[in-house]
Chain A
Amino acid sequence: MANPLRSEVLKLYRNLLYLGQEYPKGPDYFRECLKSAFKKNKDVKDPIEIRNLVDQGESVIKELGNLYYLREYRDMKKLYHRQEMFTLLNVGRLED
């Protein structure tokens, strides 16, 4: 692996590992998936390919952030904006 990319890949791994702590199916499940995903690509040598894979990893980070946010938003909305949810259901609209 090219040297500058090596530290990026490591950073990505650590970042994903940290984010996986809140994963709905459990941090252990997430860690196994993460390990196997990185292991699968361990022999990739082409820097452009590595770059692509790192970008894929970054988009996973974004998706995890969105997942965690939506989960919290949904629960907060249920707790604090219940009235509204009933109104929406009555009118037959689907929002948020």
Chain B
Amino acid sequence: MSRVLVGVKRVIDYAVKIRVKPDNSGVVTDGVKHSMNPFCEIAVEEAVRLKEKKFISEVVAVSCGPAQATETIRTALAMGCDRGIHVEVSGKDYESLGPLQVSKIFAALAKKEEASLVILGKQAIDDDCNQTGQMTAALLDWPQGTFASEVEITGDKVKVVREIDGGLETIKINMPAVLTADLRLNTPRYATLPNIMKAKKKKIANVKPADLGVDIVSRACRGTEWDTVGSLYEQWRSRSEHGALVF
């Protein structure tokens, strides 16, 4: 029997009216209601359903972020996950944490926990990157079933019906695999009080990215500003060789 890793992200609640900070450096997050990313809820629900149908034996909820990320993991536990892993990233590191770093973390965890499936939401409603699932699959060299609106496991294969532009696509992929959940995959259960109380007994392990051998240095670099299009073009022209751009 197998283990599933589910990634959950703590984001500003979908119903909150977003306000930009007065200095335009970002959005106001202090004192603002946060909750689990809606697509992550769908991912958790699918993992728990797979366990209830006895296709998998254990569901592990993972979240990367500061201390408050454990609240989101608690919600996942209340929805039926067995245990949680909190990958602690805070401060400046958290501000620059993006899909590349998160997917490195998930890839390392998937290997460490010997997971047969990694299920994520298709994208987060705060950054709308839609990259983490795909990158995680690439780093692990696993097949991916993204934008899943239907998941069916038979043996060691997964049949995924994907929602793509223009309709639905059905694929069959081998496990281990990465799946990302789309809106119509399922109806997530609401975490009621008794379930939340039960979840308090479940364990959440705390790890740092370094423990997993992951370097979370941001790859984003600031570009150069040009005064005019002309000066940019000049630079390009002077750096080109045989008509090709060389940097």
Contact = CB atoms under 8 A, between A and B. Distances in A.
Interface of A: 11, 14-15, 18-19, 61, 64-65, 68-69, 71-73, 75-77, 79-81
Given A65-B192, A69-B190, 12 more contacts: A11-B194, A18-B196, A19-B190, A19-B193, A64-B190, A71-B15, A72-B14, A72-B15, A73-B187, A76-B38, A76-B183, A79-B14
Given A72-B14, A72-B38, A77 B190 contact: no
Task: Categorize the interface residue count of chain B.
Answer: 10 to 19
B188 interface: yes
Nearest to A96: B184
B100 to A, nearest CB: 23
Contacts of A76: 14, 38, 183
A18 B59 CA distance: 26
Contact of A15 (B14, B125, B194): B194
Contacts of B188: 69
Contacts of A65: 189-190, 192
A13 to B, nearest CB: 10
Contacts of B196: 18
A55 to B, nearest CB: 16
Nearest to A19: B192
Given A75-B14, A76-B183, A79-B125, A68 B193 contact: no
A77 B187 CA distance: 13
Contacts of B189: 65
A61 B189 CA distance: 12
A82 B192 CA distance: 31
Contacts of A81: 183
Contact of B192 (A61, A71, A72, A75): A61
Contacts of B192: 15, 18-19, 61, 65
Contacts of A14: 193
B166 to A, nearest CB: 10
Contacts of B125: 79
A19 B85 CA distance: 27
B127 to A, nearest CB: 14
9 tightest A-B CB contacts, nearest first: A65-B190, A18-B193, A15-B193, A76-B38, A76-B183, A69-B187, A15-B192, A75-B14, A72-B38
A80 B183 contact: yes
B191 to A, nearest CB: 10
Contact of A73 (B183, B190, B193): B183
